[in-house]
Structure 1
Amino acid sequence: MTETVTIRGDNLTIDLVLWRKFGVRGVELVEKTMALNPGVTSAYLPVGTALELPDLPALETAAQPVVTLFG
């Protein structure tokens, strides 16, 4: 389910909003966010802009072999 946030500060960009919401993995969602918000065309988001954010995809974890140095 997507979430809508309203921009309340100056000099915010999509990638900064995503980083604040999702952390480092938010960078993965820049293109999806831009697709969900076709009216956003500026690098900096104006105050009061409603921005729809996509969901963070599940983290894919693969079993990796454990290497031990002492034992």
Structure 2
Amino acid sequence: MSRILVDRDLCEANQACMRAAPEAFRVDEEDRLHILLDEVDPALRPKVERAVRACPRRALAIVD
């Protein structure tokens, strides 16, 4: 089972991840990032990996 982790100290909620994988990430009106998946579906993994790489602050990770 793979999960998405976010380092809240690094995250700036700039929405790069949300643009890359809106199925997995949402930024609310208060600029707080929400992870929408309890685990990463294998079919979505490439998209989530792109979102992790798109994060300019390197605040995201996928852990197995």
TM-score by length of 1: 0.34
Highest CA radius of gyration, 1 or 2? 1
Q: Which one has the bigger strand percentage? A: 2
The structure carrying a bigger helix percent of its residues is 1
- Using the size of structure 2 for normalisation, the TM-score is 0.36
